[in-house]
Structures are given as C-alpha cells and as structure tokens.
C-alpha cells in the first residue's frame, strides 16, 4: 500500500509524462468495451439472426480492433517507462534496489491505467449503445434491447490492466538491468537491441498473414461462397502490418540509410534527422508503428472492398450489406485509433526530448533549424511507415485479386493508395511541426 501512495505522489510531479499512456488506455478501453457489449447483448434474449450479426460485429471487428489497441497500449506504456531510465538510475544510486524500482514503476502504471480504464469503460457503455442504435438504424439487426456491460466491461478493464502491467514489467526490468547510473544509457551507447520475443512475435504474425494469403488463393478462391476469400484474406494486411510495426526499431535505421542521399542538403536538418532516426530507432519506433498499421489496414481493406464490388458476379448473396458495414467500420476504427496514436506517440517522444532540444539551442541551433530537424525526422518516419504499410497491404490485395480473377494488379481504385499515403504523411508531419513548436518555446526559456 505504501508503494501505491508513493506512486501517486510521484505522478503528481510528472503527470505530463504519463498523459500518452492515459490517453491510449482510455481510448483503447472505450473501443474494445463498446464492441464487447455487443457480444454480451447477443447472449441475451434476442432472435437467432440478430444474435449472429451482433456476435460477428462484436467478436470479429472488436477482435481485430483489440489486436491494434493492445499493441498500441503496450507500446505506449513501454515507451513512457523507458523514458525514465535516468530517474530510475538515480533512485538506485541513493539505495533503491532494482526490485523496489520495478515495484514503483508497476504501481505508477497501475494507478494511471486503472483510472483511464475505468473512465474508458464508462465511455464504452455509451459507445456500445450508440453502436447498437446504428445497427438498428441500418436494418442490420431488429429493434433489440441493449443488454451489455455487466460482464463485458469489467473483463475489458481487467484485460487492459493485464497488458499494462506486463508492458510495465518488461520495461521496468530493462531499465533496472545493469549497474546503477544517473546517465541515460541509450544516449551514450546508441540504440537499444530489439528483444528476441518481439522479433519472434513479428515473424509469427507476418508468416500467419502470408499463410492466410496462400489459403485464399489455393482454397478459398475455389469455394462456392464468394466471401470465403474475403474471410481468409481480409485480416492479412493487419497481421502483416502489426508484424512489420513490431520490427520498426530494426527497419527504421535501414530506411534512414536508404534515404541518406536525399537528406544531405539544406542546413544539416536532414542529415541530423537521418542520424537521430538511426540512433534512436527504439524511441521513434513508437511513432512508426501506428503509421504502418494505419496505412496497411486502411489501404488493404478499402482496396478489398473495391475489388469485391468490381468482381462480384450475379445477385449479391445474403449478408452482403452486413459484410460491407463490417469492412467500413473496421477501416474507420483503425484509421481513427491509429491517427490518435500517431499524435499521442509523437507527443510522448517530443516531451521526452525537451532537454535535448534545449541543448541544441544552447550550442547555436536556431529554433527554425531545430524545428526543421524534427519535422524532417517525422517525414522520414512517415516515408518508412507508409512504404512498410503498403507492403503489408499487399498481403490482402494480391491474394484477394487472384482469388476473384482480377490478377495481381487491381483493375480500379489505383488512386486510393497515393491519396491515403498523402493523408498519413501529412498527419505525421503536421503533428510533429505543431508539437515541436510548442516544445521549443518552453525549452528555450526553461532549464530542464
């Protein structure tokens, strides 16, 4: 209990550092809980056809949303805790044991995530009702009574808290590994090595996504049900996208090296951006991940919907409206949450680097030069992210096109990927420009 009170007192003085975690958990719980209430409603006294529609909407769409939410929450918690390595090292130099430091980190994370998850559950109760009302208005289900929340929302809160604590435990163990020090180890030694379990998980997701693509071409494409191919290939872009996002700390330096010939001009801002992206890939990887998932999921799903409309022969089978609604909800949900996570992650990164920005200002860099450097970093991250996202989207586009007889290259909507890429890049760079301008105003007058 004493550790919890210490964590609360600690949070009072660094609430800004945990804002990113709070927002991620709040929105993640609201999103997951809203769809979970549909599954609970389906288990009540509703007609069988309505129960099936609610279960599909809640379990399938909510399930894929949960993958994105849990990935984002774990990344944000790990990023927030990892930024405190200097503070944790200082605690150890004055006598705190590694175990005590890790307990403090877990307690702080628990307090923040518990408050955010409970508030998110309240939002989910209203969100679930709104989703059900939209389904009723769209004639997807009949006028059924909302019956979710009593079981689904507590389970959602518990699940989110478990993810937060696991992420905090992993980050805390990494921060307390090695001798006590008051110096940021990654600033001296460069980028941290990526964990083996993360690489293994990424490879499993990518392999599974590609494997489902093979199943789409060889099995589902020959089925009498035209939507079997959609069922097996629709999620592949998300799976591969999340896998590539997990490998972000490895792929970002590669992208920076490939972009080096295009970063050397100007006043050195481009060169500094490439150098920082390579050296701090573990930090900027928190921004790269949502960009990859946003691009991969949105492009893959929207191109799939377009190909379905072009290649479907004859009268649309029963349930076509529900399937189209599911796809549109998936795209909207992924785009909204991933866009928020891009802003959230960049805010956490810029907040962590205020002392660094001040040091650049003290050694002679102008505010304009510093701002251009950070915006150039955002442009580099956006470029690498959208390229990886487009690669991930092919895991859905190509197998579904082959299964529907359209071929590798779609017959239409070729304007859509460039439009989405431009939107994602603009969002990333605009976020960076807004946040770094705010940071440089305070960094120039405040001593860190």
Of 178, 207, 195, 158, nearest to 75 by C-alpha is 195
For 81-92, how does the pLDDT look when each residue is reduced to its tens digit (9 = 90+)?
666 666 677 676
pLDDT value, residue 447: 37
CA distances to 39, 195, 295, 429 from 394, rounded to whole Å, are 31, 27, 11, 25
Contact assessment for residue 153 and residue 125, using Cβ atoms and an 8 Å cutoff: yes
pLDDT tier at 50 (50, 70, 90 boundaries)? Answer: confident
Q: Is 225 left (phi over 0), alpha (psi -120 to 50) or beta?
A: beta
Which two three-digit tokens encode residue 59?
Answer: 């379990």
Contact assessment for residue 52 and residue 387, using Cβ atoms and an 8 Å cutoff: no
Burial classification of residue 277, based on how many CB atoms lie within 10 Å of its CB (0-12 exposed, 13-18 middle, 19 or more buried): buried
DSSP symbols for 164-231: HHHHHHHHHHHHTSSS--SS-HHHHH-SPPPPHHHHHHHHHHHHHHHHHHHHHHHTGGGSSSTTHHHH
Contact assessment for residue 334 and residue 294, using Cβ atoms and an 8 Å cutoff: yes
Using alpha carbons only, what angle is made at residue 369 by residues 418 and 384, rounded to the nearest 5 degrees?
Answer: 30
DSSP symbols for 40-106: HHHTSS--HHHHHHHHIIIIIIHHHHHHHHHHHHHHHHHHHHHTTHHHHHHHHHTT--HHHHHHHHH
| Residue 142 CB coordination number (10 Å) | 12
Q: Coil, helix or strand for 147?
A: coil
Largest distance between two CA atoms of the chain: 75
Share of the chain above pLDDT 90, in %: 11
Which two three-digit tokens encode residue 238?
Answer: 């998300």
What pTM value is reported for the model? 0.76
pLDDT value, residue 360: 74
Instruction: Count H helices and E strands in the chain, helices first.
Output: 18, 0
Write down how long the chain is.
448
Which two three-digit tokens encode residue 369?
Answer: 């030069």
Between 355 and 389, the higher pLDDT residue? 389
pLDDT tier at 10 (50, 70, 90 boundaries)? Answer: low
- 3-17, 163-177, 295-309, 357-371: least confidently modelled range: 3-17
Q: What is the mean pLDDT of the chain?
A: 78
Between 186 and 77, the higher pLDDT residue? 77
């Amino acid at each position: 209990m004493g550790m919890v009170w210490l964590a609360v007192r600690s949070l009072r003085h660094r609430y800004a550092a945990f804002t990113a975690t709070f927002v991620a958990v709040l929105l993640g719980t609201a999103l997951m809980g809203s769809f979970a209430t549909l599954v609970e409603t389906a288990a009540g006294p509703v007609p069988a056809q309505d129960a099936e529609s609610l279960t599909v909407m809640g379990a399938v769409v909510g399930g894929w949303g949960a993958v994105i939410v849990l990935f984002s929450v774990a990344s944000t918690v790990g990023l927030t805790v990892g930024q405190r390595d200097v503070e944790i090292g200082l605690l150890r130099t004055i006598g705190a044991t590694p175990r005590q430091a890790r307990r403090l980190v877990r307690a702080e994370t628990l307090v923040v995530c518990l408050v955010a998850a409970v508030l998110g559950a309240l939002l989910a109760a209203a969100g679930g009702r709104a989703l059900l009302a939209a389904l009723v208005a769209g004639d997807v289900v009949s006028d059924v009574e909302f019956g979710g929340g009593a079981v689904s929302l507590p389970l959602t809160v518990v699940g989110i808290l478990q993810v937060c604590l696991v992420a905090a435990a992993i980050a805390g163990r990494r921060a307390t590994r090695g001798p006590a020090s008051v110096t940021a180890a990654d600033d001296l030694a460069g980028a941290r090595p990526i964990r083996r379990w993360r690489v293994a998980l990424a490879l499993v997701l990518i392999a599974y996504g590609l494997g489902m693509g093979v199943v789409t071409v060889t099995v589902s494409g020959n089925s009498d049900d035209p939507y079997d191919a959609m069922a097996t290939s629709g999620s592949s872009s998300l799976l591969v996208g999340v896998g590539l996002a997990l490998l972000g700390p490895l792929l970002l330096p590669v992208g920076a090296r490939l972009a080096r010939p295009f970063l050397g001009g100007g006043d050195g801002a481009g060169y500094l951006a490439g150098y920082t992206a390579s050296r701090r890939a573990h930090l900027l990887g928190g921004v790269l991940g949502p960009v990859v998932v946003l691009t991969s999921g949105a492009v893959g799903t929207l191109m799939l919907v377009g190909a379905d409309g072009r290649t479907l022969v004859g009268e649309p089978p029963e349930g076509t409206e529900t399937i189209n609604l599911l796809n549109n909800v998936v795209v909207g949900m992924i785009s909204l949450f991933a866009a928020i996570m891009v802003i959230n992650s960049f805010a956490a990164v810029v907040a962590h680097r205020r002392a660094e920005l001040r040091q650049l200002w003290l050694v002679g860099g102008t505010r304009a030069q510093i701002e251009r450097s950070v915006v150039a970093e955002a442009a580099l991250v956006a470029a690498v992210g959208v390229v990886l996202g487009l690669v991930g989207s092919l895991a859905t586009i190509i197998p579904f096109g082959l299964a529907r007889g359209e071929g590798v290259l779609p017959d239409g909507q070729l304007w859509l990927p460039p439009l989405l890429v431009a939107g994602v890049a603009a969002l990333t760079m605009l976020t960076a420009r807004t946040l770094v301008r705010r940071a440089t105003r305070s960094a120039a007058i405040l001593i860190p």
